[in-house]
Amino acid sequence: MRFAGFNPLRLNNGSMNLPGVETFVIDGSVTVNQGSALKIGVADGVDVADANSDEIYGYCLAFIIKPGSLNLPLELVSINSTYNDGTYTAARDGDTFAAASDNATDKQISAVVMPARGLICSAHLDADAGTTTGSNIPGYFIDILAGNAAVLLDESAASTTSANYSLTTGMSANSAVDPSFPDTDDRRILVIANEVTGT
């Protein structure tokens, strides 16, 4: 499945063996998409990393209930109030979960997270690559776009100054455009999280 947000592809060292996943309870009243960039260390659980001051921990791949116990995919029981009192929405380009205010202590719906360190992702810009100088050039930096459940990069924030993400080689040494989308999506680029937390 391809998510509207961040799609993990390979490691920066060239390995196609993606890192293992972890589970984190989603903080109360937080909306997370499959493909959202996430931060940890918030008061009651994982939250979306949607500010340029946030350090990226990883990316949401799925949602589960009762981590360490049932470990069931949320999609299987999303309408059962015994297991879920948040709002789950299925979508072709990535499901969304809006957690209830007490999710961290009650139902504890969790995100399945792939850590970001050393991981190259296909990422989605909020405008066409190259509109702002550097937003399609390897070696430039770019920040996550505030809001939007942490699934978009701020195309206008491309710069030579360190930011959340570094653009990396995509279609060519001079282009960070994702080679798997050359004819269908000029808003997809390859990036690696530059400001990360965790191991």
As a whole number of angstroms, the distance between CA 61 and CA 116 comes to: 12
Token representation of residue 20: 């293992």
**H or E element in which residue 78 lies:** none
Condensed to tens digits (0 to 9), the pLDDT of residues 185-197 reads 679 999 999 999 8
As a whole number of angstroms, the distance between CA 175 and CA 127 comes to: 16
Token representation of residue 120: 């190259």
Would you give the DSSP letter of residue 19? P
| CA diameter of the chain | 52
The gap from C-alpha 148 to its chain's centroid, in whole angstroms, comes to 11
What average pLDDT score do residues 116-140 get? 95
What is the band of 1 on the pLDDT scale with cuts at 50, 70, 90? low
Q: Taking all residues of the chain, what is their mean pLDDT, rounded to a whole number?
A: 91
Beta-bridged to residue 64, according to DSSP, are: 73, 110
Strands 7-11 and 47-48: unpaired
Amino acid identity of residue 136, one-letter, is N
H helical segments located in the chain: 74-77
As a whole number of angstroms, the distance between CA 42 and CA 27 comes to: 8
As a whole number of angstroms, the distance between CA 191 and CA 193 comes to: 7
Q: How far is CA 40 from CA 32, 94, 197, in A?
A: 13, 21, 8
What average pLDDT score do residues 28-50 get? 90
Condensed to tens digits (0 to 9), the pLDDT of residues 132-178 reads 999 999 999 999 999 888 999 999 999 999 899 999 999 889 999 99
What is the band of 42 on the pLDDT scale with cuts at 50, 70, 90? low
